[in-house]
């Protein structure tokens, strides 16, 4: 890659971390330095996007094929990976889920075959173990988690970029995640504490963040950042710098939708709940949003809402990730 002085070079990435491996299956594959580096690179890529073919990274993936393997619907993740790969000069293939995700043959054999033609895969599926199995079955294949039941790490990097754009320094800030302790909440918590952000999570009984996230936070939290769990959403959002929510029913859980609507009703992010946060607090949502359920129109469309900045930043952060993982 042609790296001008103002573009962080991939070779400047802190060495020795787990990302020295070839996959991004979890935020935990990043060390704090990797996350900081990816955010610097993302900001440079965002700034340089207007340069088009003259951008320093326009040929970063030249001659590289990437497979997009999606078992669940996607607008933002799929579109931004397609655009990112093209803007980096690469190509993608898009085999249909019925042939590519282990129904016709084992996932391991899918991976071993794909590895002979393409450099890596972006995978959206159900259990996280399916993505890990694919990565383990191959030797050189780069694998990126584009959402599993348990984690959504690409979303978390875009969330961090959005918060950095809002605040500059993130250390000592506090974000409340209100709702299901799901894939988005897990990855966001892991990434946020790496940036020194305190995270509060308010969930109904039975829908808390997995217990293992406390251990992750103790290990990876920077500058004293920690995780506090709440049952009461009002207590969780008092005086916070941002409120984050996600759908009450994630993909694959559709059978529970009616029961969840009742349980999660007190966790709606509405104008009243926002009023307990700091006056200039922002509102985050990974999207798609179910307006009138986990969030009201008034909050989604307010000046506090940065949800479409998050959506935009999926592109820049995934471009940075592709450069970091795929460029030789
Ligand atoms: N936030 C997110 O991952 O959106 P999609 O499901 O549309 O990809
Ligand atoms: N938690 C949601 C996120 C969608 C981007 C889901 O898994 O369906």
**pTM for this entry:** 0.94
Give counts: helices (H), strands (E), the chain.
13, 9
Give burial (CB, 10 Å; 0-12/13-18/19+) of 17: middle
Q: What is the mean pLDDT of each run of 10 residues along the chain (328 residues)?
A: 40 38 91 96 97 96 96 97 98 90 88 95 96 90 97 98 98 98 98 98 98 97 98 98 98 96 98 98 98 98 98 98 90
- The pair phi, psi for residue 269, each rounded to 5°, is -90, 105
The finding on whether 286 has its CB within 6 A of some atom of ligand 1 is yes
What pLDDT does 150 receive? 98
> Measured from the CB, is residue 223 less than 6 Å from ligand 1?
no
CA of 12 to the centre of ligand 1 (A): 30
144 CA to middle of ligand 1, Å?
Answer: 15
Write down the pLDDT at residue 72. Answer: 95
Q: What is the DSSP string of 141-162?
A: -EEEES--SS--HHHHHHHHHH
183 lines ligand 1 (CB under 6 A): no
Ligand 1 pocket: which of 68, 71, 72, 76 to mutate (most atoms within 8 A of CB): 76
pLDDT of residue 328: 67
| CA–CA distance, 101 with 66 (Å, rounded to integer) | 15
- 75 Cα: distance to centroid of ligand 1 (angstroms): 6
Residues annotated as part of the active site: 124, 152, 155, 246, 286, 314
Ligand 2 binding pocket mutation candidate from 147, 286, 311 (most atoms within 8 A of CB): 147
């Amino acid at each position: 890659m042609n790296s001008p002085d103002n573009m962080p070079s991939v070779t400047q990435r802190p060495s020795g971390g787990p990302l020295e491996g070839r996959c991004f299956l979890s935020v935990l594959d990043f060390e704090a330095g990797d996350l900081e580096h990816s955010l610097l690179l993302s900001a440079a890529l965002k700034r340089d996007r207007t340069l088009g073919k003259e951008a320093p990274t326009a040929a970063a993936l030249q001659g590289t094929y990437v497979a997009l393997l999606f078992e669940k619907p996607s607008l933002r993740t799929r579109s931004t990976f397609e655009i990112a790969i093209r803007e980096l000069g690469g190509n993608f293939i898009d085999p249909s889920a019925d042939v590519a995700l282990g129904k016709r043959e084992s996932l391991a054999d899918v991976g071993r075959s794909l590895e002979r033609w393409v450099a890596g895969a972006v995978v959206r599926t159900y259990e996280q173990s399916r993505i890990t199995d694919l990565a383990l079955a191959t030797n050189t294949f780069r694998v990126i988690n584009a959402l599993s039941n348990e984690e959504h790490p690409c979303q978390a990097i875009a969330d961090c970029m959005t918060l950095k754009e809002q605040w500059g320094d993130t250390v000592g800030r506090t974000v409340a995640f209100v709702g299901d302790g799901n894939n988005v909440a897990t990855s966001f918590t892991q990434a946020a504490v790496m940036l020194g952000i305190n995270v509060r999570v308010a969930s109904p009984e039975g829908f808390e963040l997995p217990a293992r996230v406390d251990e992750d936070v103790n290990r990876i939290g920077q500058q004293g950042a920690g995780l506090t769990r709440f049952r009461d959403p009002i207590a969780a959002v008092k005086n916070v710098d941002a409120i984050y929510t996600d759908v009450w029913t994630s993909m694959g859980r559709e059978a529970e939708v009616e029961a969840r609507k009742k349980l999660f009703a007190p966790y709606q992010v509405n104008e009243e709940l926002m009023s307990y946060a700091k006056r200039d607090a922002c509102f985050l949502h990974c999207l798609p949003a179910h307006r009138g359920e986990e969030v009201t129109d008034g909050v989604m469309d307010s000046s506090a809402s940065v949800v479409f900045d998050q959506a935009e930043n999926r592109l820049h952060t995934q471009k940075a990730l592709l450069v970091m993982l795929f460029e030789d």
